[in-house]
Structure 1
Amino acid sequence: MEIKASAVRIEPWSEGDFGLLRAANAPELMEHLGGPETEEQLVKRHARYVELSSDRTGRGRMYRIVLEESGESVGSVGFWERTWQGEEVYETGWGVLLGFQGRGIATSGTRAVVEAARAEHKHRYLHAFPPPDNLPSNAVCRKVGFELVGECDFEYPPGHVAVSNDWRLDLCRAERSS
C-alpha cells in the first residue's frame, strides 16, 4: 500500500534528530553508501546536517521525514550544492528506516524536497546518484520525474569511486504529475 504524499511532511533537521541518524546507520540501510559509519562519523554528519538546515544561503537543507498521522520521524531527505561536470547543481539523497520502506514514503519525501529546492530559485538541476543495483532508489527517481542521464563514476563515501546512475531533474520545468 503506497502512502499518499499528504501522509508525510518534511521538517528541518535539528539537534534532536541524532537518534534518527543513528537508527538509519543500520547495515541494511547503509549497504549502498559504503557501510555503517562510526560514532565519530555520525556525530560529524549530524553537525553538518544541523548546520545545513540552519543556513539560509540556498546551499541546501536536510530534513527528517515525518508521518502525518503519528508524528513519527521515519527517514531523512535533503538537497545540497555540489559541482557536477563543471556546473553548480543540487544533489539529493534520502533514506527511510527499514520498517517503513515499501510504502511510498521516500517518494513522497523526495517530492517535497524537490519543491523545497525549486523554491530556492538558485540552481537549474537537481541530481541523484543511486547505484544501478539500488532498485528502490532508482524507482523513486523515476516516480518523482527525474530523467536518467546515464551511468557515471561517482565518489561516495570519499575515497570510494563506484558506478552510479546519474538522474537529473530540471527545477525550472513545471512539476509534472506521475
Structure 2
Amino acid sequence: MDGVDERAGRCAGRLRLVPWAEGDLWLLRRTNSAEMTAHLGGPETEEQLAARHLRYTGLRTGRKYRVTSADGTETFGSIGFWRRTWQDAEVWETGWAVLPEFQGRGLAVRAARAVREEARAEGALRYLHAFPGVDHAASNAVCRGAGFTLLGQADFEYPKGHWIRSNDWRVDLERGD
C-alpha cells in the first residue's frame, strides 16, 4: 500500500479504492452492458440497478469501492467484498468490474490485491472467495494473479435464479494466502 487517506480509501500502486457513494450509480449503469454482464446473467433493469446501488451504499459488513487512478481523475471500475454463507460457513465474497477501455492493464489484479487487504483489515472472517464462471478466462486470471487458490468448481447462483458453473477461488486472510 502506498498510504491511506481515510476519506478516499487505500491506495494500491497507481490506483485507489474509493468508498462507494451516492453519486456512483452512473458506474453501475456504465457496466450494465451485454458485454460487461455476459458472465453474470445479462443486463439489469433500471430498478435492479437502483436497488443494487442502495445495497452498496448501505453495506453494514464489507465494502464496495470505485476503483480510480491514484489522483482520482479517472475511474477504472469497481470492486468490493461482502458477507455470504458458503458451504455452511460465513465467508467474504469479492467481485469486480473494469470498464472496457481499461481492461487488460492489470488493474483488476491490483484492485483484488488491495481488496484482500481491506477484507483482512476488517478482521471478521477468515476467508475471501471469488466465484468467476469456469469459462470467464479474464476473471479467473485475475484470481490467479491476485494470489487466490483454486479450490475447484461449484454451481453458483448469481444473480438470484441464474445458476452458473463457477470456479471457487479462495484466500486465507489469516495466513495471507
Q: Would you say 1:33 and 2:40 are equivalent positions?
A: yes
Gaps of 5+ in 2: 1-11
Residue correspondence of structure 1 range 24-173 to structure 2 within 5 A: 24-52=31-59, 55=60, 59-69=61-71, 71-173=73-175
List structure 1 segments (4+ residues) > 6 angstroms apart after TM superposition.
none
Contact kept? 2:126, 2:173, Cα under 8 Å = yes
Higher relative contact order (CA 8 A, sep 6+): 1
Gaps of 5+ in 1: none
Letter paired with 1:45:
R
- TM-score, with structure 2 as normaliser: 0.91
In structure 2, how many angstroms separate the alpha carbons of the residues matched to 1:115 and 1:154?
25
The structure where helix makes up a greater share of residues is 1
In structure 1, how many angstroms separate the alpha carbons of the residues matched to 2:106 and 2:92?
23
Q: Would you say 1:17 and 2:24 are equivalent positions?
A: yes
In structure 2, how many angstroms separate the alpha carbons of the residues matched to 1:174 and 1:20?
31
Q: Which moved more, 1:9-18 or 1:62-71?
A: 62-71
- Same amino acid, percent of matched pairs: 58
C-alpha RMSD over aligned residues: 1.1
In structure 2, how many angstroms separate the alpha carbons of the residues matched to 1:69 and 1:135?
30
- TM-score, with structure 1 as normaliser: 0.90
Q: How many residues align?
A: 166
In structure 2, how many angstroms separate the alpha carbons of the residues matched to 1:72 and 1:124?
32
User: Per-residue displacement from partner, 1:62-118 (whole Å, max 9, x unpaired)?
Assistant: 000001256211200000000100011000000000111000111111111110000
